[in-house]
């Protein structure tokens, strides 16, 4: 006995005749050929098969395809958009967040969901969020680092560029400013600092709070004249 189901997967409408007992993971992999989601433990323990069902992550090995009838599914194939990797994917690459890669699709779908709901998670929150993902290569450390580091979380609000206009923070508390900038850098895609005083030969950015903040800037421009405004424009437009 079969039934007709239809669902939107990664923005595309699919309709198929299936047995009611067919699991969503097999529907995605075998019926639709979307093999990015991995079929792992088959008992909803490992998290390799995590996809989104109506915007919420779910273990696709523990959902019937019939339950997704009329709903929207998002798989790891949808993380890349217009030829551009999701920052989560870039982060996994840059921080070596995987070894064999089997758990990675589920890990990344959970990561994307966490960051969409919680752009600046603490390490404890990250570890809690991925506690349903099992990595046999013990790549957790790198995966957590990927979440936590500049390269992983920044760009959560994709394209959010922070422009700081200030003539410097030399007198500021370096510890406080460093912490604030670290926080900002994890949620912003880019940080650009416009500081006219950088043109002055006597300006010393390595002093006080400025020294703490400087390393977190993706670009520092003087923006003190029309030519320099061109530099500002390039800095803002850079990826």
Partner 1 sequence: MHYMLVPSHVEYERATSVEHALSLLGRPDTRVLAGGHSLIPMMKLRLAQPELLVDINGLAELAFIRLDGGQLRIGALARHADLLDSAVAGEHFPVFHDAERVVADPIVRLWGTVGGSLCQADPSEDLSAVFAAARATAVIRGQHGDREVPVREFHLGPYETVIGRGELLAEVRVPLPVPAHGGTGSAYQKVARRVGDWSVAAAGAVLRLSGEHEIQEAGLGLTAVGARHFVAAEAEDFLRGRRATQDTFEEAGKIAARHCHPVADQRGPEDYKRHLVAELAARALRRAAERATP
| Contact stretch for partner 1 (CB under 8 A) within 66-74, 83-91, 173-181, 189-197 | 66-74
By CB under 8 A, residue 63 contacts partner 1: yes
Residues 68-97 binding partner 1 (CB under 8 A) are 69
| Contact stretch for partner 1 (CB under 8 A) within 59-67, 85-93, 138-146, 197-205 | 59-67
Query: Distance between CA atoms of 66 and 39, rounded to whole angstroms?
Result: 18
Q: Report the residue number, 63 or 191, with the smaller CB distance to partner 1.
A: 63
Q: Which has the closest alpha carbon to 77: 12, 145, 151? A: 12
- Residue 39 is encoded by which pair of tokens? 């079929």
Rounded least distance, CB 61 to partner 1, Å: 8
Q: Which has the closest alpha carbon to 163: 237, 86, 91, 215? A: 237
Binds partner 1 (CB under 8 A): choice among 64, 161, 163, 219:
64
Query: Distance between CA atoms of 29 and 239, rounded to whole angstroms?
Result: 34
Rounded CA Rg of the chain: 22
By CB under 8 A, residue 57 contacts partner 1: yes
By CB under 8 A, residue 30 contacts partner 1: no
Residues 35-54 binding partner 1 (CB under 8 A) are 42-45, 47, 50
By CB under 8 A, residue 108 contacts partner 1: no
Q: Which residues are bridge partners to 219 per DSSP?
A: 192
By CB under 8 A, residue 31 contacts partner 1: no
| Contact stretch for partner 1 (CB under 8 A) within 19-27, 151-159, 201-209, 215-223 | 19-27
By CB under 8 A, residue 1 contacts partner 1: yes
Rounded least distance, CB 137 to partner 1, Å: 17
Residue 227's Cβ-count burial label (10 Å; 0-12, 13-18, 19+) is exposed
Rounded least distance, CB 94 to partner 1, Å: 25
By CB under 8 A, residue 192 contacts partner 1: no
Q: Report the residue number, 5 or 194, with the smaller CB distance to partner 1.
A: 5
Query: Phi and psi dihedrals of 148, rounded to 5?
Result: -85, -30
Q: How many CB atoms lie within 10 A of CB 76?
A: 25
Residue labelled with tokens 């003087």 = 222
Inter-residue contact 123 to 145 (CB < 8 Å)? no
Q: Report the residue number, 140 or 193, with the smaller CB distance to partner 1.
A: 140
Inter-residue contact 121 to 114 (CB < 8 Å)? yes
Q: How far is CA 17 from CA 8, 25, 146, 228, in A?
A: 15, 16, 40, 62
- Contacts to partner 1 by CB under 8 A: 1, 3, 19-23, 26, 42-45, 47, 50, 56-59, 62-64, 66-67, 69, 110, 128-129, 131-132
């Amino acid at each position: 006995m079969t039934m007709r189901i239809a669902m939107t997967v990664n923005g595309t409408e699919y309709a198929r005749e299936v047995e009611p007992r067919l699991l969503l993971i097999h529907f995605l992999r075998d019926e639709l050929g979307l093999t990015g989601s991995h079929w792992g433990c088959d008992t909803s323990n490992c998290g390799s098969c995590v996809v989104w069902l109506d915007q919420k992550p779910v273990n696709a090995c523990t959902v019937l395809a019939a339950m997704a009838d009329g709903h929207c599914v998002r798989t790891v194939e949808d993380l890349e958009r217009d030829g551009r990797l999701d920052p989560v994917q870039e982060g996994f690459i840059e921080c070596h967040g995987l070894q064999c890669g089997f758990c990675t699709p589920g890990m990344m779908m959970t990561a994307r969901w966490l960051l969409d709901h919680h752009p600046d998670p603490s390490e404890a929150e990250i570890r809690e969020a991925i506690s349903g993902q099992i990595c046999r290569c013990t790549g957790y450390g790198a995966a957590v680092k990927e979440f936590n580091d500049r390269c992983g979380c920044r760009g959560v609000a994709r394209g959010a560029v922070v422009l700081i206009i200030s003539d410097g923070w030399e007198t500021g508390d370096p510890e406080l400013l460093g912490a604030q900038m670290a926080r900002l850098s994890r949620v912003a895609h880019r940080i650009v600092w416009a500081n006219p005083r950088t043109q002055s030969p006597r300006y010393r950015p390595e002093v006080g709070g400025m020294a703490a903040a400087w390393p977190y800037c993706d670009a520092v421009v003087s923006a003190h004249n029309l030519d320099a405004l061109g530099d500002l424009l390039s800095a803002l437009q850079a990826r």
